[in-house]
């Protein structure tokens, strides 16, 4: 039942109740006027309450729709940047053959441009590369896959980065996979 139908039904019921009371009780005109005034106030309050409930329902539906749209298209801007990088990789990989030193140099230069474009796009969205070579090992951002002993380097330092890690602001996306220096069997 629509809000309008509820208001009409409520008004009809109230008018019927007033008519029944007037006929049944033989109220005086002033009492009848007072009763009618109070009944009108009740009707107006009911109508106002129903409208407010409808407004609240519409606000909830609109908010849910906006949240869904935000969720669905949150990465649209990021996707546009990544599509551009992806297309550059396609153009680079479509080269039929590399025959001379100049072509190799051009290909390398093109790949460096794509790498920079990709890095700039990631940085634009707060995505940071973690490449901790020669830094101290941290369980928070690094995953050790190998322990090496080198007395010329500080204990617990990273000697090799197998794969870079990534984070968005302070949240880790992927840890850097590393080899750690462990001197005299100490644990990291």
- The pLDDT of residue 47 is 93
- The pLDDT of residue 30 is 79
State pLDDT tens for residues 122-164.
898 889 999 999 999 999 999 999 999 999 999 999 999 999 9
- The pLDDT of residue 180 is 96
Beta strands 171-174 and 176-181: pairing type? unpaired
- The pLDDT of residue 80 is 82
* pLDDT tens per residue across all 188 residues of the chain: 666 676 667 667 766 655 555 454 555 677 888 888 899 999 999 999 999 999 999 999 999 999 988 887 778 778 888 888 888 877 777 766 666 677 778 888 888 888 899 899 889 888 999 999 999 999 999 999 999 999 999 999 999 999 999 999 889 999 999 999 998 766 55
3-state secondary structure the chain: CCHHHHHHHHHHHHHHHHHHHHHHHCCCHHHHHHHHHHHHHHHHHHHHHHHHHHHHHHHHHHHHHHHHHHHHHCCHHHHHHHHHHHHHHHHHHCCCCCCCHHHHHHHHHHHHHHHHHHHHHHHHCCEEEECCCCCECCCCCEEEEEEECCCCCCCCEEEEEEECEEEECCEEEECEEEEEECCCCCCC
């Amino acid at each position: 039942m629509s809000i309008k139908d509820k208001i009409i039904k409520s008004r009809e019921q109230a008018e019927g109740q007033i008519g029944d009371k007037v006929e049944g009780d033989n109220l005086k005109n002033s009492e009848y006027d007072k009763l009618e005034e109070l009944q009108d106030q009740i009707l107006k309050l009911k109508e106002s309450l129903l409208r407010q409930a409808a407004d609240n329902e519409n606000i909830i539906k609109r908010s849910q729709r906006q949240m869904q749209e935000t969720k669905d298209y949150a990465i649209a801007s990021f996707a546009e940047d990544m599509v551009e990088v992806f297309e550059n990789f396609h153009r680079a990989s479509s080269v039929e053959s590399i025959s001379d030193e100049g072509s190799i140099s051009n290909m390398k230069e093109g790949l460096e441009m794509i790498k920079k474009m990709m890095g700039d796009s990631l940085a634009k969205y707060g995505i940071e590369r973690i490449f901790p070579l020669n830094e101290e090992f941290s369980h928070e951002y690094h995953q050790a896959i190998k322990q090496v002993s080198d007395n010329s380097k500080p204990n617990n330092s990273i000697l090799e980065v197998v794969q870079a890690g990534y984070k968005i602001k302070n949240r880790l996306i992927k840890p850097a996979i590393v080899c750690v220096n462990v001197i005299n069997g100490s644990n990291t």
